[in-house]
Structure 1
Protein backbone atom coordinates (compact mmCIF):
# COMPACT_ATOMS: atom_id res chain seq x y z
CA UNK A 1 0.00 0.00 0.00
CA UNK A 2 2.86 2.38 0.77
CA UNK A 3 4.36 1.71 -2.65
CA UNK A 4 1.02 2.44 -4.31
CA UNK A 5 0.94 5.79 -2.53
CA UNK A 6 4.09 6.86 -4.36
CA UNK A 7 1.79 7.74 -7.26
CA UNK A 8 2.71 8.30 -10.91
CA UNK A 9 3.44 11.63 -12.49
CA UNK A 10 5.13 10.17 -15.57
CA UNK A 11 1.78 8.93 -16.83
CA UNK A 12 0.88 12.37 -18.11
CA UNK A 13 4.03 13.00 -20.11
CA UNK A 14 2.81 11.71 -23.44
CA UNK A 15 -0.74 13.02 -23.22
CA UNK A 16 0.07 16.32 -24.91
CA UNK A 17 1.46 17.25 -28.32
CA UNK A 18 5.10 16.17 -28.55
CA UNK A 19 7.39 17.67 -27.51
CA UNK A 20 5.06 20.07 -25.70
CA UNK A 21 2.34 19.67 -23.10
CA UNK A 22 -0.18 21.77 -25.04
CA UNK A 23 -1.76 19.74 -27.86
CA UNK A 24 -3.52 20.69 -31.09
CA UNK A 25 -6.82 19.83 -32.85
CA UNK A 26 -5.23 18.68 -36.13
CA UNK A 27 -5.46 14.93 -36.83
CA UNK A 28 -2.97 13.07 -38.97
CA UNK A 29 -3.94 13.33 -42.65
CA UNK A 30 -6.18 10.58 -43.97
CA UNK A 31 -4.17 7.47 -44.98
CA UNK A 32 -1.07 8.90 -43.28
CA UNK A 33 0.87 7.72 -40.22
CA UNK A 34 3.14 9.09 -37.48
CA UNK A 35 5.64 7.27 -35.30
CA UNK A 36 7.64 8.59 -32.32
CA UNK A 37 10.32 7.07 -30.13
CA UNK A 38 10.97 9.29 -27.12
CA UNK A 39 11.99 9.81 -23.54
CA UNK A 40 10.61 12.35 -21.09
CA UNK A 41 10.85 13.37 -17.46
CA UNK A 42 8.67 15.23 -14.99
CA UNK A 43 9.83 16.08 -11.48
CA UNK A 44 8.85 17.83 -8.29
CA UNK A 45 10.69 18.06 -4.95
CA UNK A 46 8.71 14.97 -3.88
CA UNK A 47 9.64 12.73 -6.82
CA UNK A 48 11.32 12.61 -10.22
CA UNK A 49 9.74 10.29 -12.76
CA UNK A 50 10.76 9.39 -16.29
CA UNK A 51 9.25 7.81 -19.38
CA UNK A 52 11.43 5.92 -21.86
CA UNK A 53 11.81 4.25 -24.07
CA UNK A 54 8.29 4.97 -25.24
CA UNK A 55 6.69 4.42 -28.64
CA UNK A 56 3.81 6.43 -30.09
CA UNK A 57 1.82 5.59 -33.22
CA UNK A 58 -0.85 7.75 -34.87
CA UNK A 59 -3.03 6.78 -37.84
CA UNK A 60 -5.25 8.95 -40.02
CA UNK A 61 -7.99 6.31 -40.07
CA UNK A 62 -10.70 8.43 -41.70
CA UNK A 63 -10.82 12.10 -42.75
CA UNK A 64 -10.58 14.39 -39.68
CA UNK A 65 -10.04 11.44 -37.30
CA UNK A 66 -6.75 10.19 -35.86
CA UNK A 67 -6.35 7.01 -33.82
CA UNK A 68 -3.56 7.09 -31.25
CA UNK A 69 -1.56 4.63 -29.13
CA UNK A 70 1.47 4.88 -26.83
CA UNK A 71 3.40 1.95 -25.40
CA UNK A 72 5.67 3.31 -22.62
CA UNK A 73 8.28 2.10 -20.20
CA UNK A 74 9.40 4.31 -17.34
CA UNK A 75 10.33 4.66 -13.72
CA UNK A 76 9.79 6.54 -10.45
CA UNK A 77 12.36 7.98 -8.05
CA UNK A 78 10.82 9.22 -4.78
CA UNK A 79 12.79 11.77 -2.77
CA UNK A 80 12.03 9.88 0.48
CA UNK A 81 11.98 13.05 2.55
CA UNK A 82 9.55 13.13 5.44
CA UNK A 83 8.30 16.58 4.49
CA UNK A 84 6.92 15.19 1.20
CA UNK A 85 5.31 12.02 2.61
CA UNK A 86 3.28 10.17 1.56
CA UNK A 87 3.70 11.27 -2.08
CA UNK A 88 7.49 11.20 -2.00
CA UNK A 89 7.97 8.06 0.08
CA UNK A 90 8.75 4.54 -1.12
CA UNK A 91 11.28 2.62 -3.21
CA UNK A 92 12.29 3.42 -6.77
CA UNK A 93 10.77 1.25 -9.50
CA UNK A 94 10.85 0.85 -13.27
CA UNK A 95 8.98 -1.12 -15.90
CA UNK A 96 5.94 -0.90 -18.18
CA UNK A 97 3.66 1.98 -17.20
CA UNK A 98 0.07 2.79 -18.17
CA UNK A 99 -0.54 2.48 -21.92
CA UNK A 100 -2.44 5.23 -23.71
CA UNK A 101 -5.16 4.93 -26.38
CA UNK A 102 -7.01 7.85 -27.88
CA UNK A 103 -8.83 9.51 -30.76
CA UNK A 104 -8.33 13.04 -32.08
CA UNK A 105 -11.32 14.49 -33.95
CA UNK A 106 -11.44 17.80 -35.82
CA UNK A 107 -14.97 19.22 -35.61
CA UNK A 108 -14.41 22.66 -37.14
CA UNK A 109 -11.82 23.30 -39.87
CA UNK A 110 -9.69 26.43 -39.79
CA UNK A 111 -10.78 29.34 -41.97
CA UNK A 112 -9.65 32.94 -42.38
CA UNK A 113 -11.30 34.10 -39.15
CA UNK A 114 -12.13 30.86 -37.31
CA UNK A 115 -9.57 28.56 -35.67
CA UNK A 116 -9.61 24.80 -36.08
CA UNK A 117 -11.41 23.19 -33.13
CA UNK A 118 -11.25 19.59 -32.02
CA UNK A 119 -10.96 17.10 -29.18
CA UNK A 120 -8.31 14.53 -28.27
CA UNK A 121 -9.91 12.06 -25.84
CA UNK A 122 -7.41 9.80 -24.03
CA UNK A 123 -7.95 6.44 -22.34
CA UNK A 124 -5.12 5.50 -19.96
CA UNK A 125 -5.09 1.72 -19.67
CA UNK A 126 -3.95 0.08 -16.39
CA UNK A 127 -0.96 -1.82 -17.83
CA UNK A 128 1.51 -0.52 -15.23
CA UNK A 129 2.04 -2.23 -11.89
CA UNK A 130 0.04 -0.08 -9.47
CA UNK A 131 1.53 -1.83 -6.43
CA UNK A 132 4.96 -0.50 -7.47
CA UNK A 133 3.65 2.97 -8.29
CA UNK A 134 3.97 2.42 -12.05
CA UNK A 135 0.27 2.83 -12.75
CA UNK A 136 -3.02 4.04 -11.36
CA UNK A 137 -4.73 0.65 -11.24
CA UNK A 138 -7.89 1.72 -13.10
CA UNK A 139 -8.73 3.13 -16.51
CA UNK A 140 -8.56 6.92 -16.36
CA UNK A 141 -9.40 9.59 -18.92
CA UNK A 142 -8.40 12.95 -20.38
CA UNK A 143 -11.09 15.08 -22.00
CA UNK A 144 -9.65 18.23 -23.65
CA UNK A 145 -10.80 20.77 -26.23
CA UNK A 146 -8.06 22.31 -28.42
CA UNK A 147 -7.94 25.25 -30.86
CA UNK A 148 -5.37 26.19 -33.51
CA UNK A 149 -4.83 29.20 -35.82
CA UNK A 150 -2.11 29.80 -38.41
CA UNK A 151 -0.91 33.27 -39.37
CA UNK A 152 1.94 33.16 -41.89
CA UNK A 153 4.97 31.66 -40.17
CA UNK A 154 3.24 31.85 -36.78
CA UNK A 155 1.06 29.17 -35.20
CA UNK A 156 -1.16 29.50 -32.11
CA UNK A 157 -2.42 26.52 -30.09
CA UNK A 158 -4.46 26.55 -26.91
CA UNK A 159 -7.15 24.83 -24.93
CA UNK A 160 -8.11 23.13 -21.71
CA UNK A 161 -9.48 19.88 -20.40
CA UNK A 162 -10.32 17.72 -17.43
CA UNK A 163 -8.53 14.59 -16.24
CA UNK A 164 -10.87 12.01 -14.67
CA UNK A 165 -9.16 9.53 -12.31
CA UNK A 166 -11.58 7.13 -10.52
CA UNK A 167 -9.03 5.84 -7.99
CA UNK A 168 -8.51 6.26 -4.25
CA UNK A 169 -5.80 8.80 -3.44
CA UNK A 170 -6.24 10.61 -6.78
CA UNK A 171 -8.85 13.08 -7.87
CA UNK A 172 -10.06 14.78 -11.04
CA UNK A 173 -8.19 17.94 -12.04
CA UNK A 174 -8.20 20.56 -14.83
CA UNK A 175 -5.32 21.35 -17.17
CA UNK A 176 -4.69 23.67 -20.10
CA UNK A 177 -2.31 26.06 -21.76
CA UNK A 178 -1.28 28.20 -24.70
CA UNK A 179 1.53 27.68 -27.24
CA UNK A 180 3.14 30.06 -29.72
CA UNK A 181 5.31 28.60 -32.53
CA UNK A 182 7.28 30.21 -35.34
CA UNK A 183 8.91 28.74 -38.42
CA UNK A 184 12.50 30.03 -38.29
CA UNK A 185 13.52 28.41 -41.58
CA UNK A 186 12.85 25.19 -43.52
CA UNK A 187 14.90 23.21 -40.99
CA UNK A 188 13.86 24.67 -37.63
CA UNK A 189 10.64 25.57 -35.79
CA UNK A 190 10.78 27.03 -32.27
CA UNK A 191 7.97 27.40 -29.75
CA UNK A 192 7.18 28.49 -26.22
CA UNK A 193 4.19 27.48 -24.09
CA UNK A 194 2.53 28.18 -20.76
CA UNK A 195 0.93 25.08 -19.27
CA UNK A 196 -0.99 24.63 -16.00
CA UNK A 197 -2.54 21.75 -14.12
CA UNK A 198 -4.51 21.50 -10.91
CA UNK A 199 -3.75 19.37 -7.88
CA UNK A 200 -3.74 15.72 -8.97
CA UNK A 201 -4.37 14.13 -5.56
CA UNK A 202 -2.90 13.86 -2.07
CA UNK A 203 -0.67 10.83 -2.80
CA UNK A 204 1.00 11.96 -6.04
CA UNK A 205 4.04 14.24 -6.51
CA UNK A 206 1.79 16.85 -8.16
CA UNK A 207 -0.27 17.22 -4.99
CA UNK A 208 -0.40 20.96 -5.65
CA UNK A 209 -1.24 23.00 -8.76
CA UNK A 210 1.61 24.21 -10.97
CA UNK A 211 2.09 26.54 -13.93
CA UNK A 212 5.08 25.93 -16.20
CA UNK A 213 6.89 27.83 -18.93
CA UNK A 214 8.33 25.47 -21.55
CA UNK A 215 10.43 26.09 -24.67
CA UNK A 216 11.62 23.81 -27.44
CA UNK A 217 11.21 22.97 -31.09
CA UNK A 218 11.48 20.73 -34.11
CA UNK A 219 14.64 20.15 -36.20
CA UNK A 220 13.81 18.73 -39.63
CA UNK A 221 16.36 16.02 -40.34
CA UNK A 222 15.07 14.69 -43.65
CA UNK A 223 12.96 16.85 -45.89
CA UNK A 224 10.60 19.33 -44.30
CA UNK A 225 8.31 16.86 -42.53
CA UNK A 226 9.38 13.22 -42.99
CA UNK A 227 11.82 13.00 -40.04
CA UNK A 228 12.29 15.40 -37.12
CA UNK A 229 14.18 15.73 -33.84
CA UNK A 230 11.83 17.00 -31.10
CA UNK A 231 13.03 18.68 -27.90
CA UNK A 232 11.63 20.74 -25.02
CA UNK A 233 12.43 21.81 -21.48
CA UNK A 234 10.42 23.76 -18.95
CA UNK A 235 10.20 24.81 -15.32
CA UNK A 236 7.43 26.04 -13.06
CA UNK A 237 6.80 29.77 -12.74
CA UNK A 238 3.95 29.51 -10.22
CA UNK A 239 2.61 26.95 -7.77
CA UNK A 240 4.55 23.82 -6.82
CA UNK A 241 8.11 23.55 -8.13
CA UNK A 242 8.09 21.27 -11.19
CA UNK A 243 10.20 20.67 -14.28
CA UNK A 244 9.52 18.98 -17.61
CA UNK A 245 11.72 17.70 -20.44
CA UNK A 246 11.18 15.76 -23.68
CA UNK A 247 13.49 14.38 -26.39
CA UNK A 248 12.33 12.25 -29.29
CA UNK A 249 12.51 11.29 -32.96
CA UNK A 250 9.51 11.56 -35.27
CA UNK A 251 8.67 10.01 -38.64
CA UNK A 252 5.66 10.48 -40.90
CA UNK A 253 4.59 8.76 -44.11
CA UNK A 254 1.50 7.81 -46.09
CA UNK A 255 -0.40 7.83 -49.33
CA UNK A 256 -0.73 11.26 -50.88
CA UNK A 257 -3.93 11.28 -52.90
CA UNK A 258 -3.02 14.61 -54.45
CA UNK A 259 0.21 13.22 -55.84
CA UNK A 260 -1.66 10.16 -57.08
CA UNK A 261 -4.18 12.42 -58.77
CA UNK A 262 -1.34 14.41 -60.36
CA UNK A 263 0.19 11.19 -61.70
CA UNK A 264 -3.16 10.11 -63.08
CA UNK A 265 -3.60 13.55 -64.58
CA UNK A 266 -0.16 13.35 -66.18
CA UNK A 267 -0.99 9.90 -67.55
CA UNK A 268 -4.25 11.18 -69.01
CA UNK A 269 -2.45 14.16 -70.57
CA UNK A 270 0.09 11.80 -72.10
CA UNK A 271 -2.67 9.60 -73.55
CA UNK A 272 -4.45 12.67 -74.95
CA UNK A 273 -1.21 13.89 -76.53
CA UNK A 274 -0.58 10.50 -78.17
CA UNK A 275 -4.16 10.40 -79.44
CA UNK A 276 -3.83 13.89 -80.93
CA UNK A 277 -0.57 12.93 -82.63
CA UNK A 278 -2.17 9.80 -84.06
CA UNK A 279 -5.15 11.79 -85.30
CA UNK A 280 -2.88 14.45 -86.79
CA UNK A 281 -0.76 11.78 -88.47
CA UNK A 282 -3.84 10.11 -89.95
CA UNK A 283 -5.20 13.47 -91.08
CA UNK A 284 -1.86 14.32 -92.76
CA UNK A 285 -1.71 10.99 -94.62
CA UNK A 286 -5.29 11.40 -95.70
CA UNK A 287 -4.48 14.77 -97.27
CA UNK A 288 -1.38 13.50 -99.04
CA UNK A 289 1.26 15.10 -96.83
Structure 2
Protein backbone atom coordinates (compact mmCIF):
# COMPACT_ATOMS: atom_id res chain seq x y z
CA UNK A 1 0.00 0.00 0.00
CA UNK A 2 1.43 3.35 -1.04
CA UNK A 3 -0.22 5.63 1.51
CA UNK A 4 1.70 8.41 3.38
CA UNK A 5 1.16 10.18 6.78
CA UNK A 6 2.71 12.58 9.32
CA UNK A 7 5.19 11.23 11.83
CA UNK A 8 4.31 13.45 14.80
CA UNK A 9 1.52 15.70 16.06
CA UNK A 10 3.90 18.66 16.01
CA UNK A 11 4.58 18.10 12.32
CA UNK A 12 0.86 17.84 11.58
CA UNK A 13 0.05 21.06 13.43
CA UNK A 14 2.70 22.89 11.48
CA UNK A 15 1.39 21.51 8.22
CA UNK A 16 -2.18 22.45 9.02
CA UNK A 17 -1.08 26.01 9.57
CA UNK A 18 0.14 26.26 5.98
CA UNK A 19 -1.78 27.11 2.81
CA UNK A 20 -1.27 26.56 -0.94
CA UNK A 21 -0.79 28.68 -4.03
CA UNK A 22 -1.81 27.39 -7.44
CA UNK A 23 -3.29 23.88 -7.50
CA UNK A 24 -1.36 20.70 -7.15
CA UNK A 25 -1.53 17.02 -6.52
CA UNK A 26 0.47 14.89 -8.98
CA UNK A 27 3.41 14.57 -9.22
CA UNK A 28 3.67 15.53 -5.53
CA UNK A 29 2.37 13.67 -2.50
CA UNK A 30 0.77 16.84 -1.09
CA UNK A 31 -2.66 17.41 -2.61
CA UNK A 32 -4.95 20.43 -2.90
CA UNK A 33 -8.58 21.61 -2.44
CA UNK A 34 -9.03 22.70 -6.08
CA UNK A 35 -11.59 20.66 -8.07
CA UNK A 36 -11.46 20.41 -11.83
CA UNK A 37 -13.47 23.23 -13.44
CA UNK A 38 -17.12 22.47 -14.20
CA UNK A 39 -17.52 20.42 -17.41
CA UNK A 40 -13.77 19.89 -17.65
CA UNK A 41 -11.74 16.70 -17.48
CA UNK A 42 -8.24 15.52 -16.54
CA UNK A 43 -6.47 12.32 -17.54
CA UNK A 44 -3.12 10.98 -16.33
CA UNK A 45 -0.97 8.04 -17.34
CA UNK A 46 1.70 7.57 -14.69
CA UNK A 47 3.98 5.36 -12.70
CA UNK A 48 5.43 5.82 -9.23
CA UNK A 49 7.47 3.96 -6.67
CA UNK A 50 7.74 4.15 -2.90
CA UNK A 51 10.29 2.05 -1.09
CA UNK A 52 12.04 1.44 2.20
CA UNK A 53 14.68 -1.15 3.18
CA UNK A 54 11.74 -3.40 4.12
CA UNK A 55 10.03 -3.42 0.71
CA UNK A 56 9.71 -1.46 -2.52
CA UNK A 57 6.25 -1.05 -4.04
CA UNK A 58 5.73 0.32 -7.55
CA UNK A 59 2.63 1.48 -9.41
CA UNK A 60 2.43 1.53 -13.19
CA UNK A 61 0.94 1.67 -15.59
CA UNK A 62 -1.81 3.57 -13.80
CA UNK A 63 -4.65 5.62 -15.26
CA UNK A 64 -6.28 8.55 -13.46
CA UNK A 65 -9.47 10.35 -14.54
CA UNK A 66 -10.98 13.47 -12.96
CA UNK A 67 -14.28 15.12 -13.90
CA UNK A 68 -15.71 18.49 -12.87
CA UNK A 69 -19.17 17.06 -12.32
CA UNK A 70 -20.86 19.97 -10.52
CA UNK A 71 -19.60 23.34 -9.25
CA UNK A 72 -16.91 22.93 -6.59
CA UNK A 73 -16.99 19.12 -6.85
CA UNK A 74 -14.62 16.81 -8.73
CA UNK A 75 -15.14 13.07 -9.16
CA UNK A 76 -11.98 10.98 -9.24
CA UNK A 77 -10.86 7.47 -10.21
CA UNK A 78 -7.52 5.63 -10.54
CA UNK A 79 -7.14 2.19 -12.12
CA UNK A 80 -3.59 1.01 -11.24
CA UNK A 81 -1.38 -1.95 -11.96
CA UNK A 82 1.77 -2.43 -9.94
CA UNK A 83 4.22 -4.64 -8.10
CA UNK A 84 5.44 -5.48 -4.61
CA UNK A 85 9.05 -6.44 -3.93
CA UNK A 86 9.71 -7.54 -0.32
CA UNK A 87 13.33 -7.53 0.87
CA UNK A 88 12.94 -10.87 2.71
CA UNK A 89 15.55 -9.62 5.16
CA UNK A 90 15.06 -11.29 8.58
CA UNK A 91 16.10 -8.05 10.26
CA UNK A 92 12.66 -6.60 9.44
CA UNK A 93 10.50 -9.56 10.48
CA UNK A 94 7.54 -9.88 10.49
CA UNK A 95 7.49 -7.29 7.70
CA UNK A 96 8.99 -7.52 4.22
CA UNK A 97 8.53 -11.25 3.63
CA UNK A 98 7.10 -13.23 0.72
CA UNK A 99 7.47 -13.42 -3.07
CA UNK A 100 7.39 -10.48 -5.46
CA UNK A 101 4.16 -10.02 -7.41
CA UNK A 102 2.67 -7.88 -10.20
CA UNK A 103 -0.97 -7.26 -11.06
CA UNK A 104 -4.02 -5.09 -10.57
CA UNK A 105 -3.91 -3.05 -7.36
CA UNK A 106 -6.77 -1.59 -5.33
CA UNK A 107 -8.89 0.86 -7.36
CA UNK A 108 -9.24 4.40 -6.04
CA UNK A 109 -12.52 6.35 -6.14
CA UNK A 110 -12.98 9.76 -4.58
CA UNK A 111 -14.45 13.23 -4.55
CA UNK A 112 -12.71 16.57 -4.14
CA UNK A 113 -14.96 19.21 -2.59
CA UNK A 114 -14.08 22.88 -2.13
CA UNK A 115 -15.75 24.29 0.99
CA UNK A 116 -14.33 27.82 1.04
CA UNK A 117 -13.29 29.82 -2.01
CA UNK A 118 -9.90 31.53 -2.06
CA UNK A 119 -9.96 35.30 -1.61
CA UNK A 120 -7.28 37.96 -1.66
CA UNK A 121 -6.48 37.37 2.01
CA UNK A 122 -7.66 33.84 2.79
CA UNK A 123 -6.88 30.39 1.35
CA UNK A 124 -9.17 27.99 -0.41
CA UNK A 125 -10.16 25.08 1.86
CA UNK A 126 -11.50 21.69 0.92
CA UNK A 127 -11.19 17.93 1.16
CA UNK A 128 -10.22 15.13 -1.22
CA UNK A 129 -11.77 12.03 0.33
CA UNK A 130 -10.71 8.77 -1.34
CA UNK A 131 -11.98 5.20 -1.03
CA UNK A 132 -9.73 2.32 -2.03
CA UNK A 133 -11.78 -0.56 -3.48
CA UNK A 134 -10.30 -4.07 -2.92
CA UNK A 135 -9.66 -5.06 -6.55
CA UNK A 136 -6.05 -6.14 -5.88
CA UNK A 137 -5.23 -9.67 -4.73
CA UNK A 138 -4.95 -9.75 -0.94
CA UNK A 139 -3.28 -13.18 -1.03
CA UNK A 140 -0.49 -11.87 -3.30
CA UNK A 141 -0.06 -8.66 -1.32
CA UNK A 142 -1.38 -6.48 -4.16
CA UNK A 143 -4.41 -5.29 -2.23
CA UNK A 144 -5.62 -4.72 1.31
CA UNK A 145 -8.61 -7.05 0.98
CA UNK A 146 -11.06 -4.54 2.45
CA UNK A 147 -12.26 -1.04 1.62
CA UNK A 148 -9.97 1.56 3.16
CA UNK A 149 -10.07 5.33 2.88
CA UNK A 150 -8.30 8.68 3.29
CA UNK A 151 -9.90 11.80 4.79
CA UNK A 152 -7.72 14.92 4.45
CA UNK A 153 -8.17 18.68 4.77
CA UNK A 154 -6.20 20.79 2.27
CA UNK A 155 -5.57 24.54 1.97
CA UNK A 156 -4.42 26.59 -1.02
CA UNK A 157 -3.22 30.16 -1.56
CA UNK A 158 -1.95 31.84 -4.73
CA UNK A 159 0.68 34.56 -4.32
CA UNK A 160 1.96 35.81 -7.65
CA UNK A 161 4.05 33.11 -9.30
CA UNK A 162 4.23 31.11 -6.07
CA UNK A 163 2.06 28.18 -5.02
CA UNK A 164 1.70 27.34 -1.32
CA UNK A 165 -0.21 24.16 -0.54
CA UNK A 166 -0.63 22.28 2.71
CA UNK A 167 -2.78 20.13 4.92
CA UNK A 168 -3.10 16.83 6.71
CA UNK A 169 -5.41 13.87 7.02
CA UNK A 170 -6.03 10.37 8.32
CA UNK A 171 -5.87 7.05 6.48
CA UNK A 172 -8.18 4.38 7.91
CA UNK A 173 -7.30 0.75 7.09
CA UNK A 174 -9.51 -1.87 8.85
CA UNK A 175 -7.27 -4.85 8.12
CA UNK A 176 -4.85 -7.10 10.03
CA UNK A 177 -1.18 -6.02 9.88
CA UNK A 178 -2.22 -2.52 8.75
CA UNK A 179 -2.60 0.60 10.90
CA UNK A 180 -4.66 3.76 10.75
CA UNK A 181 -2.21 6.62 10.37
CA UNK A 182 -2.03 10.42 9.98
CA UNK A 183 -0.18 12.15 7.15
CA UNK A 184 0.50 15.70 6.08
CA UNK A 185 2.44 17.85 3.67
CA UNK A 186 3.48 21.35 2.66
CA UNK A 187 4.37 22.29 -0.92
CA UNK A 188 5.96 25.45 -2.33
CA UNK A 189 6.12 25.82 -6.11
CA UNK A 190 7.23 28.55 -8.52
CA UNK A 191 6.14 29.11 -12.13
CA UNK A 192 8.87 30.00 -14.62
CA UNK A 193 7.16 31.55 -17.65
CA UNK A 194 4.37 29.62 -19.35
CA UNK A 195 5.99 26.19 -19.61
CA UNK A 196 7.97 25.19 -16.53
CA UNK A 197 6.92 24.83 -12.89
CA UNK A 198 9.27 23.55 -10.18
CA UNK A 199 8.45 22.81 -6.57
CA UNK A 200 9.56 21.23 -3.34
CA UNK A 201 7.54 19.63 -0.57
CA UNK A 202 7.89 18.30 2.95
CA UNK A 203 5.70 15.22 3.37
CA UNK A 204 5.42 13.10 6.52
CA UNK A 205 3.53 10.05 7.73
CA UNK A 206 3.28 7.77 10.76
CA UNK A 207 3.95 4.02 10.63
CA UNK A 208 1.49 2.17 8.41
CA UNK A 209 1.78 -1.45 9.57
CA UNK A 210 3.85 -4.59 8.98
CA UNK A 211 2.02 -5.38 5.72
CA UNK A 212 3.44 -2.19 4.14
CA UNK A 213 6.95 -0.93 3.33
CA UNK A 214 6.39 1.98 5.74
CA UNK A 215 6.75 0.12 9.03
CA UNK A 216 7.99 3.27 10.80
CA UNK A 217 7.27 6.99 10.58
CA UNK A 218 9.14 9.05 8.00
CA UNK A 219 9.49 12.65 6.85
CA UNK A 220 10.55 13.28 3.26
CA UNK A 221 11.66 16.16 1.06
CA UNK A 222 10.53 15.80 -2.57
CA UNK A 223 11.52 17.93 -5.58
CA UNK A 224 9.58 17.92 -8.83
CA UNK A 225 7.76 19.86 -11.47
CA UNK A 226 5.80 19.96 -14.69
CA UNK A 227 6.62 20.99 -18.25
CA UNK A 228 3.88 22.28 -20.57
CA UNK A 229 4.44 20.91 -24.05
CA UNK A 230 4.64 23.45 -26.87
CA UNK A 231 2.24 21.78 -29.31
CA UNK A 232 -0.63 21.40 -26.81
CA UNK A 233 -1.06 23.76 -23.82
CA UNK A 234 -3.25 21.20 -22.04
CA UNK A 235 -0.57 18.48 -22.15
CA UNK A 236 2.19 18.25 -19.54
CA UNK A 237 5.07 16.04 -18.48
CA UNK A 238 5.19 15.50 -14.69
CA UNK A 239 8.12 14.36 -12.55
CA UNK A 240 9.15 14.14 -8.90
CA UNK A 241 11.75 12.45 -6.69
CA UNK A 242 12.23 12.51 -2.94
CA UNK A 243 14.10 10.96 -0.04
CA UNK A 244 13.54 10.80 3.70
CA UNK A 245 15.24 13.34 5.97
CA UNK A 246 13.97 11.90 9.27
CA UNK A 247 12.64 8.58 10.48
CA UNK A 248 12.68 5.43 8.36
CA UNK A 249 14.75 5.52 5.16
CA UNK A 250 12.33 6.00 2.26
CA UNK A 251 12.39 6.98 -1.42
CA UNK A 252 9.57 8.32 -3.59
CA UNK A 253 9.43 8.90 -7.35
CA UNK A 254 6.71 9.82 -9.87
CA UNK A 255 6.68 10.28 -13.65
CA UNK A 256 3.63 10.78 -15.83
CA UNK A 257 1.77 12.55 -18.61
CA UNK A 258 -1.23 14.82 -18.06
CA UNK A 259 -4.00 16.05 -20.35
CA UNK A 260 -6.89 18.44 -19.67
CA UNK A 261 -9.83 19.47 -21.82
CA UNK A 262 -13.40 20.73 -21.53
CA UNK A 263 -16.05 23.16 -22.65
CA UNK A 264 -16.49 26.65 -21.27
CA UNK A 265 -19.79 28.52 -21.24
CA UNK A 266 -17.90 31.58 -22.40
CA UNK A 267 -15.42 32.25 -25.16
CA UNK A 268 -11.99 31.29 -23.76
CA UNK A 269 -9.31 33.89 -23.36
CA UNK A 270 -5.87 33.29 -24.80
CA UNK A 271 -4.00 30.98 -22.48
CA UNK A 272 -7.10 29.56 -20.76
CA UNK A 273 -5.97 26.01 -21.52
CA UNK A 274 -2.74 26.73 -19.66
CA UNK A 275 -4.59 28.31 -16.74
CA UNK A 276 -6.60 25.10 -16.36
CA UNK A 277 -3.43 23.16 -15.66
CA UNK A 278 -2.97 21.31 -12.34
CA UNK A 279 -0.99 24.29 -11.14
CA UNK A 280 -3.52 27.03 -11.87
CA UNK A 281 -7.07 25.69 -12.01
CA UNK A 282 -9.34 27.58 -9.63
CA UNK A 283 -11.98 24.93 -9.19
CA UNK A 284 -14.77 27.51 -9.36
CA UNK A 285 -16.95 28.46 -12.35
TM interval, shorter chain, is 0.7 to 0.9
Q: Within 1, Cα distance between the matches of 2:228 and 2:144?
A: 36
| Deviation by residue 1:47-81 (Cα, 9 ceiling, x = unmatched) | 11100000000000001000000000000011111
Q: TM-score, normalised by structure 1?
A: 0.84
1:38 and 1:260 mapped to 2: Cα distance?
A: 29
Q: 1:173 aligns to what?
A: 181
Match of 2:226 in 1: 218
Is 2:205 the partner of 1:197? yes
Quick one: distance in 2 between partners of 1:112 and 1:174? 30
- The aligned counterpart of 2:109 is 101
SS at match of 2:267: helix
Which residue of 39, 44, 50 corresponds with 2:47? 39
Q: Structure 2 matches for 1:41-60, cutoff 5 A?
A: 41-60=49-68
CA RMSD of superposed structures (Å): 1.8
Alignment partners' CA distance in 2, 1:150 and 1:112:
9
**What is residue 85 of structure 1 aligned with on the other side?**
93
For residues 88-237 of structure 1, the aligned pairs below 5 Å read 88-222=96-230, 225-237=233-245
2:57–2:213 CA contact under 8 A, matched in 1: no
Higher radius of gyration, 1 or 2: 1
Deviates more, 1:162-171 or 1:53-62: 162-171
- Unaligned 5+ runs, structure 2: 5-23, 270-285
Change (3 A) 1:255 1:22: same
Q: CA deviation at 1:258?
A: 2.0
2-structure distance, mates of 1:11, 1:195: 11
Listed as ranges, the gaps of 5+ residues in structure 1 are 1-8, 262-289
Question: Relative contact order: is structure 1 or structure 2 higher (C-alpha 8 Å, sep ≥ 6)?
Answer: 2
Q: 1:257, CA displacement in angstroms?
A: 1.4
Number of aligned positions between the proteins: 252
Structure 1 distance, partners of 2:239, 2:232, is: 17
Q: Deviations over 1:62-102 (max 9, x none)?
A: 01000000000000011111001221111000000000000
Distance 1:217 1:203 in 2: 31
